[in-house]
Amino acid sequence: METRKLAVALVVLLVIVTPLAYIGYGYASYSKVINPGEPLGTTEYVVVKTPTGQFHSMTLQEFKDYVAGGGEIPEGSKVYKINVESYITGSPVVDINTTLRSLYDSYTIILGDPSVKNCKDKPELYMGSCTQRTVAVMEVTAFVSNIFSTMYYLKAIALGYNNTTAREYAFQETMKRNRKGYLDFWTKFELGRGSLGNSKNLAILLIGPAEGGTENRVFVPRKGLLVFEATSDETLRAEVVLVEHLINFQWPNNSTASQTNS
């Protein structure tokens, strides 16, 4: 009888308790992913959005020097101060460049808290600006898909494809390898255990006011995961544009998701 009870207890442990503990561990690890401790290096930047919709970016020191030298910011411009942090190499730009410009099996854009879905039908239930979050999502989606497609275009060229067939190959691969999601319990679990944002999957995470964003910063806590955190949805978009500038990203055929200048 005691042996049977022990066997039942072991079955319960293996079938129920162990999986729950594993899920709990992955979920709890999410907070460590987005709060990785002291950065190895931090660079402060300023992004200026002019009334005409153009974006200009520079380091905070360059901005101070510009103003001290008599430079003027167009009236009505918006100024965003953003920290770009490094947790891998000590250079924020190197972290971002090597993370974005690598070949992955797939990529995932995490649009934010599930409440973002309310922007479609019940925007009043969303804690933030639906308009600005939508613009930020459009910007980062177009930007990342272009980067991802470029890596597959280069792969096709290396395989001997010509320019036309390489572009078609890159487009098809990008379309079937992308995924969008929301920051729900399961996504936090996947981020925590590392099944999202790794050497095979590029994950982009947006953290704004609805997700509890407390500061304006961009960072790569590990290769394969790029995090945009901001105190407003408008700043999220400015952060995406800043990253475009930092890695010298050029929109194909002179087209842009936003008017940007650095």
Q: What is the pLDDT of residues 174-210, one digit of tens each?
A: 999 999 999 999 999 999 999 999 999 999 999 999 9
For 136-155, what is each residue's pLDDT tens digit? Answer: 999 999 999 999 999 999 99
Strands of 41-49's sheet, edge to edge? 178-181, 106-110, 201-207, 225-229, 217-222, 78-86, 41-49, 54-59, 259-260
Reported as a pLDDT band with limits 50, 70 and 90, residue 21 is very low
Specify whether the CB–CB gap between 116 and 182 falls below 8 A: yes
Alpha helices in 37-129 (DSSP H): 60-68, 92-100, 118-121
Q: What SS3 state is found at 56?
A: strand
pLDDT mean over 94-105:
97
Q: How far apart are CA 139 and CA 235, in angstroms?
A: 12
Query: What confidence score (pLDDT) does residue 7 get?
Result: 55
B/e letters for 133-156, b = 16+ CB within 10 Å, e = fewer, are bbbbbebbbbbbbbbbbbbbbeeb
Burial of 211 (0-12, 13-18, 19+ CB in 10 A): buried
Query: What confidence score (pLDDT) does residue 203 get?
Result: 98
Q: What SS3 state is found at 10?
A: helix
Alpha helices in 35-162 (DSSP H): 60-68, 92-100, 118-121, 130-158
Query: What confidence score (pLDDT) does residue 125 get?
Result: 81
Q: Residues 149, 152, 154, 156: is their CA dihedral positive or negative?
A: negative
DSSP annotation of 52 reads: T
Residue 127: CB atoms within 10 Å: 14
Q: How far apart are CA 23 and CA 10, in angstroms?
A: 19
Q: Is this model's pTM higher than 0.95 or not?
A: no
Q: Compare 147 and 4 and report the one with higher pLDDT.
A: 147
pLDDT value at 96 more than 90? yes
Reported as a pLDDT band with limits 50, 70 and 90, residue 251 is confident
**Cα separations in angstroms, 217 against 44, 82, 159, 212:** 9, 5, 38, 13
For 32-65, what is each residue's pLDDT tens digit? Answer: 999 999 999 999 999 999 999 999 999 999 999 9
Query: What confidence score (pLDDT) does residue 22 get?
Result: 41
pLDDT mean over 110-135:
90
User: Letter for the amino acid at 218?
Assistant: V
pLDDT value at 6 more than 80? no
